[in-house]
Amino acid sequence: MPHDQCPNCAAPDLAFAAHDHAPCAADALARAEAILAEKGLRLTPVRRRTLEILLEGHRALGAYDLLTRLAAEGFGAQPPVAYRALDFLEEHGLAHRIRRLNAFTACMHMGEAHFAAFLICRACHAISEAPAAPARSALDTAANAQGFTIETATIEALGLCPACQEVPA
Amino acid sequence: MPHDQCPNCAAPDLAFAAHDHAPCAADALARAEAILAEKGLRLTPVRRRTLEILLEGHRALGAYDLLTRLAAEGFGAQPPVAYRALDFLEEHGLAHRIRRLNAFTACMHMGEAHFAAFLICRACHAISEAPAAPARSALDTAANAQGFTIETATIEALGLCPACQEVPA
DNA sequence: CGTCTATATGTTATATCATAACAATGCAAG
DNA sequence: CTTGCATTGTTATGATATAACATATAGACG
């Protein structure tokens, strides 16, 4: 299964595991550049910086938090600046919207065809992408039973990551 | 499987099928009354009216749309009036929040333990609840592989209902 | 029957998230 | 070099949601 390997870190999905994050982020950025180059699309300064900021951690960032960062660095200070960069990244598979949080997170499987499910830790707010193909096909089955055709699905789970389970409230 | 039967309509889940909706809504309301009575909770006028409005159709309604309706009928005209009623209904399993739409819909399986997935038709905006237990257990498996414990999951699919598939754009 | 208490309703005010519409800039093909 | 289109920026507004506090009412209980 392609999802056993994290393409960025050459290890299993490890948002929840301690890991050397610098190469994790750097590789994702390089991968993004390659993907966009191939499609003839431009990773402009705002877009690149947006992606870098999202890649700072395995968490989700709200559009206005991002905007604050961008504005502080000399980019435009109005909401569309942030939303446009985020929409662009999402549209090309470099970032995902986390609907539960009204926020965005960098994609950890750029360039792979994947149905992602998101695991959101309610304690430390870390987010991991989990392989959702099995869940998705179960969902397709349920939808077919009603004659419904799924075009896109949102699968998000809230709970506790391994580290936070060990530290009870 | 409990989900083969729609408890309200005594038929398979039929949000997408033509059906006599009056008893569908009336039964759901009666069921809600029973559930709340058993828990010693009150279906006050705003709450009851909110549920009735949600039950008018198999679709989702935004909090402000609901608020407009409530205000026109003499209830309070401020957002908390709508949000409180909706939160109450959701908390007790009588309604669901559809995150994709920032809106709410009446629960079609009140009182049953169920993991619901929502099928949202992007053309006619009808919403159906589908049995999500298989998808949920696939998701649990994926989460376990990362040591993550799921507490609540959101599963929503966007696509075309049977009727709208037959009428191409 | 009163009165106390918890629940519920209502209000004002504000926070948070998102997009429409238009102006200005800049890159890139011809 | 200029025309066209993508990109960035702005102003303005719309849409969703909650905090904090005031008032009212149902039910429990003496």
Q: What is the pLDDT of residues A14-32, one digit of tens each?
A: 788 888 888 999 999 999 9
The predicted pLDDT at position A18 comes to 84
β-strand partners of B98: B103
Mean pLDDT score of chain A, rounded to an integer? 91
Which of residues 75 through 104 in chain A touch B, CB cutoff 8 A?
A: 99-100
The predicted pLDDT at position B13 comes to 64
Using an 8 Å CB-CB cutoff, list chain A residues near B97: none
Determine if strand C comes within 7 Å of the CB of B37. Answer: no
Q: Tell me which residue of A17, A115, A120, A162 sits closest to A9, measured CA to CA.
A: A17
For A16, nearest residue in chain B (alpha carbons): B146
pLDDT band at residue A13 under the 50/70/90 scheme: low
Catalogue the E-assigned strands of chain B. 95-98, 103-106, 116-121, 127-131, 149-160
> Consecutive sets of 10 residues in chain B, 169 residues long: mean pLDDT of each?
40 75 92 95 97 97 98 97 98 98 96 91 95 96 96 97 83
Q: Which of B139, B152, B158, B164 should one mutate to test binding to chain A, selecting the residue with the greatest count of A CBs within 10 A?
A: B139
Nearest Cβ partner for A153 among B150, B156, B161: B156
Q: Is B153 on the interface with A (CB under 8 A)?
A: yes
Residue B16 burial (10 A CB sphere; 0-12, 13-18, 19+): buried
Using an 8 Å CB-CB cutoff, list chain A residues near B150: 119, 157-159
pLDDT reading at A52 higher than 90: yes
Q: Please answer yes or no on whether A157 and B154 come within 8 Å at the CB atom.
A: yes
Greater confidence (A13 vs A139) lies with A139
Q: Which two tokens stand for residue B70?
A: 């409530």
**Angle between the B45-54 and B63-72 helix axes, to the nearest 10 degrees?**
120
Nearest Cβ partner for B135 among A15, A135, A159: A135
| pLDDT tens-digit map of A97-133 | 999 999 999 999 999 888 899 999 999 999 999 999 9
Q: Please answer yes or no on whether B165 and A147 come within 8 Å at the CB atom.
A: yes
The predicted pLDDT at position B54 comes to 98
pLDDT reading at A47 higher than 50: yes
The predicted pLDDT at position B4 comes to 39
The predicted pLDDT at position A132 comes to 95
Q: Is B62 left (phi over 0), alpha (psi -120 to 50) or beta?
A: beta
Q: What is the DSSP letter of B100?
A: G
Q: Which two tokens stand for residue B80?
A: 């908390």
Q: Please answer yes or no on whether A142 and B155 come within 8 Å at the CB atom.
A: no
Instruction: Phi first, then psi: give them for residue A132, nearest 5 degrees.
Output: -110, 10
